[in-house]
Amino acid sequence: MRASTIKRSLGVDLTTKIKESRVLLVGAGGIGCELLKNLVLTGFGEVHIIDLDTIDLSNLNRQFLFRHEHIKKPKALVAKEVAHNFQPGAKLVAYHANIMDRQFNVGWFQKFHIVFNALDNLAARRHVNRMCLAAGVPLIESGTTGFNGQVQVITKGETECYDCNPKATPTTFPICTIRTTPSQPIHCIVWAKSYLLPQLFGESEDEAAELDMTENAENADEIANLKKEAATLKEIRESMGSDEFSRNVFKKVFESDIQRLRDLEDMWTEREAPKVLVYDELDQSSASTKLPNSSGDRREWSMEENFVVFKDSLDRLSKRLKDLQAKKLTDDSEPSLSFDKDDEDTLDFVTATANLRADTFHIGITSKFDTKQMAGNIIPAIATTNAMTASLCVLQSFKVLQDDISRAKMVFLERSGARAINSEGLRPPQAYCDVCSVVRGGLSVDPSATLEDLVVGVLQEQLGYTNEMSVRTDEGIVYDPEMEDNLPKKLSELGIKNDSFLTVVDDDDLEKDPRVNVEFWVVERTKPSENSKPVTLKTVDIPRRPKKSVVPEADVVNVTNGTAGNGKRKREGEDEPLTNGHIAKKVAGESAQNGDEDVIVIKDDEGAILIDD
């Protein structure tokens, strides 16, 4: 767009503010690419772009700044170069890095007038939210899932923050369901992807994230069994590369393990016992079966086809691992292969192995296409939703730049309602939010300062805390009345260094009017200060907590991938929200189901599959 046209439509004042602003864009994926293009074309004078990832083939359909020749290059750097051509006058700075790195500290965030989040995971979103609150920089948070999109303006002390509404934590699968009593295709897919594949090709002791490894009584036996099995699998791994390998794997997981399960007769009084698959039988019946080609991705393969794909993918993966091992140079890490939805070999392995297991347990099988959706936790990203969401971010940023937060909105994009775009006013911060309803302050510390200097010298003597309090870092509690042993330790020994965050919680009995939580960020002095105490702070006035009863409890909101994750909230006395906070995509057709249960797969922010059963 020509500068003169922008000036005419936005006015001289806003155009100048836009030109003079320095903004940060976190994430150069689906929304990020669109947003960067919008920002430079709108005339933003300085845009910093950060992304930790490199470009993948599967990004090209919607991350339009990227082309085939950019595959494997850092997203941030390519996005910067390409967008620069749109507006050579703009200053663009790219970082191929994780926004959660310490180098991006509060002081660094303070350089920006606005931060835009275009992320895909909860942890990074939460982190940026907190940094923006600490730095006092407005944040425009955005996300999409399929046809749904969301934009939220967050400003410290004026609006709700990203964490004001609790997010549901992602569900994991109990090991017993995955290992012994699968009842849906997704259970078999998780088994193939998160258990067997890492056992065969991963660093063998890996604990797969999607399996619930908590050692409670129910799980303890299962974990013991699992360990025994892992030992046997290790032996099998040793035959990798020989013709015997796929036979050994098959015989273990579909013959002997299943036979052992069948022998536990009590388990099968209420449900049908699994059936043993016999290697030699399948080997014979599949003698003339060809490997399905890519046109077969959307249909369910026959058992013979699953069998030949199982063997073939194991051969391909074995060869790759052997090659990696042969190339291994001096570094200590063991070469390994892990699941990637865009890696044909691992996807073939997971599809075929999950289907053979599904057959064993009398469960419907899934096509390679559906398996990819489920194992990759994918909800198709829609370029149009990303584009609309990115433009809504820019429109909201105008209100921020004009200091007109009262007109800024929480905006929702949706397909089901009467209107595609709906909005609601921003709410004030939740009084009980642990993230934004805290007081913040800086602590300046000598390199040799101890916890006692902080707890006694500052918190008790200076701020008047009693002994009933705790001090937490991101790693956990470092002080409470039972941890006096820590007092003589240096702060640095407790992991409290430059740019660390510390939260002080007043644990005094609620009736005594405890203080709200205080979050300090630590600035380490390069050398001890001669004139002041080892730990000093800028005095902060710490208010007392409001009485709990007056604040309505926030709803727990389901988190979906890509979305800002706030969902639309409902509070007492409100009508039904216009959109669903819980956006789910049904990815498995009825034919792929066991009985009439629906499998709902959600790509959530932690990368786990949520299942509604």
Ligand X SMILES: Nc1ncnc2c1ncn2[C@@H]1O[C@H](COP(=O)(O)OP(=O)(O)OP(=O)(O)O)[C@@H](O)[C@H]1O
Q: By CB under 5 A, which span of 344-352, 429-437, 447-455, 509-517 interacts with Zn ion?
A: 429-437
50 contributes a contact to ligand X by CB under 6 A:
yes
The entry of ligand X, Zn ion, none that residue 124 binds, CB within 5 to 8 Å by partner kind: ligand X
Q: How far is the CB of 426 from ligand X (least distance, A)?
A: 24
Q: How many CB atoms neighbour CB 338 within 10 A?
A: 15
The entry of ligand X, Zn ion, none that residue 458 binds, CB within 5 to 8 Å by partner kind: none
53 contributes a contact to ligand X by CB under 6 A:
yes
119 contributes a contact to ligand X by CB under 6 A:
yes
Q: Which residues on adjacent β-strands are paired with residue 469?
A: 506
Q: How far is the CB of 121 from ligand X (least distance, A)?
A: 5
435 contributes a contact to Zn ion by CB under 5 A:
yes
Tokens of 29: 């994926």
Q: How far is the CB of 128 from ligand X (least distance, A)?
A: 8
CA distance to 54, 144, 324, per residue, from 72 (Å):
5, 24, 19
> Which amino acid is it at 343?
D
The answer to whether 390 and 319 are in contact (CB under 8 A) is no
52 contributes a contact to ligand X by CB under 6 A:
yes
354 contributes a contact to Zn ion by CB under 5 A:
no
The entry of Zn ion, ligand X, none that residue 519 binds, CB within 5 to 8 Å by partner kind: none
Antiparallel, parallel or unpaired: β 148-154 and 409-413: antiparallel
The residue whose Cβ lies closest to Zn ion is 433
The residue whose Cβ lies closest to ligand X is 29
The answer to whether 106 and 131 are in contact (CB under 8 A) is yes
Helix (H) or strand (E) holding 211: strand 211-212
Residue 335's Cβ-count burial label (10 Å; 0-12, 13-18, 19+) is middle
Residue 120, annotated as binding a ligand: yes
Among residues 25, 122, 161, 411, the one that binds Zn ion under rule CB under 5 A: 161
564 contributes a contact to ligand X by CB under 6 A:
no
The number of residues that bind Zn ion (CB under 5 A) is: 6
Helices H, strands E: what count in the chain?
A: 18, 19
How far is the C-alpha of 141 from the C-alpha of 135, rounded, in Å? 16
Q: How far is the CB of 130 from ligand X (least distance, A)?
A: 13
For residue 202, how far is the Cα from the chain centroid?
22
Q: By CB under 6 A, which span of 47-55, 198-206, 236-244, 434-442 interacts with ligand X?
A: 47-55
The entry of ligand X, Zn ion, none that residue 164 binds, CB within 5 to 8 Å by partner kind: Zn ion
How far is the C-alpha of 136 from the C-alpha of 41, rounded, in Å? 27
The entry of Zn ion, ligand X, none that residue 341 binds, CB within 5 to 8 Å by partner kind: none
Residue 121, annotated as binding a ligand: yes
Q: By CB under 6 A, which span of 44-52, 105-113, 273-281, 438-446 interacts with ligand X?
A: 44-52
How far is the C-alpha of 430 from the C-alpha of 436, rounded, in Å? 8
Residue 27, annotated as binding a ligand: yes
3-class secondary structure, 387: helix
How far is the C-alpha of 433 from the C-alpha of 126, rounded, in Å? 13
Among residues 28, 240, 435, 599, the one that binds ligand X under rule CB under 6 A: 28
Residue 164, annotated as binding a ligand: yes
How far is the C-alpha of 389 from the C-alpha of 213, rounded, in Å? 38
Among residues 21, 27, 233, 258, the one that binds ligand X under rule CB under 6 A: 27
Helix (H) or strand (E) holding 40: helix 30-42
- Quick check: is 176 catalytic? yes
Antiparallel, parallel or unpaired: β 501-506 and 469-473: antiparallel
164 contributes a contact to Zn ion by CB under 5 A:
yes
Q: How many CB atoms neighbour CB 136 within 10 A?
A: 13
146 contributes a contact to ligand X by CB under 6 A:
no
Q: Which residues on adjacent β-strands are paired with residue 503?
A: 472, 519
The entry of Zn ion, ligand X, none that residue 562 binds, CB within 5 to 8 Å by partner kind: ligand X
Q: By CB under 6 A, which span of 29-37, 106-114, 308-316, 464-472 interacts with ligand X?
A: 29-37
Q: Which is nearer to ligand X, 47 or 363 (CB)?
A: 47
Instruction: Report CA Rg, the chain.
Output: 28
Nearest 10 degrees: Cα torsion 117, 559, 96, 64 = -70
At what angle are helices 383-401 and 12-20 packed, to 10 degrees?
100
Q: Which is nearer to ligand X, 353 or 385 (CB)?
A: 385
132 contributes a contact to ligand X by CB under 6 A:
no
User: Which phi and psi angles does 288 have, rounded to 5°?
Assistant: -105, 15
Q: Which residues are annotated as a binding site?
A: 27-32, 51, 59-62, 75, 120-125, 161, 164, 433, 436
Q: What are the catalytic residues?
A: 176
Contacts with Zn ion, residue ranges (CB under 5 A): 161, 163-164, 433, 435-436
Residues engaged in binding ligand X (CB under 6 A): 27-30, 32, 50-53, 58-59, 75, 98-100, 119-121, 124, 381, 562
- Residue ranges for the binding site for ATP? 27-32, 51, 59-62, 75, 120-125
